[in-house]
Amino acid sequence: MTQLECWPPPLWTEVVVTWDKILLQQSGIVQKIQDWLDATQGGQYHLHGYQKTKGFAYRFEDPRDATAFALRWSL
């Protein structure tokens, strides 16, 4: 997938990887997510850094990419 640097359109699909999920996983999960995104075929995504109360917010141009990401990382 390709990372979009500017703010994405509002209709993109958001998936949040929660702080609980991040903290329960082994160290380096954020880097593993980034490696997976770099290696996976698909459209564009945007990373909103983090949301103070939720976790990291990823937004995807293609809802199918969001579904694949959610199944792998946020559930």
How many beta carbons lie within 10 A of that of residue 4, not counting itself?
17
**Average of per-residue pLDDT values in the chain:** 89
pLDDT number for residue 20: 85
Q: Answer with the residue of higher pLDDT: 9 or 69.
A: 69
Domain ranges in the chain are 2-74
Asked if 74 and 20 count as a contact pair (C-beta separation under 8 A), the reply is no
> pLDDT band at 1, cuts 50/70/90?
very high
pTM score, whole prediction: 0.85
**Cβ-contact 10, 59 below 8 angstroms:** no
**In the chain, pLDDT over 70 holds for what percent of residues?**
96
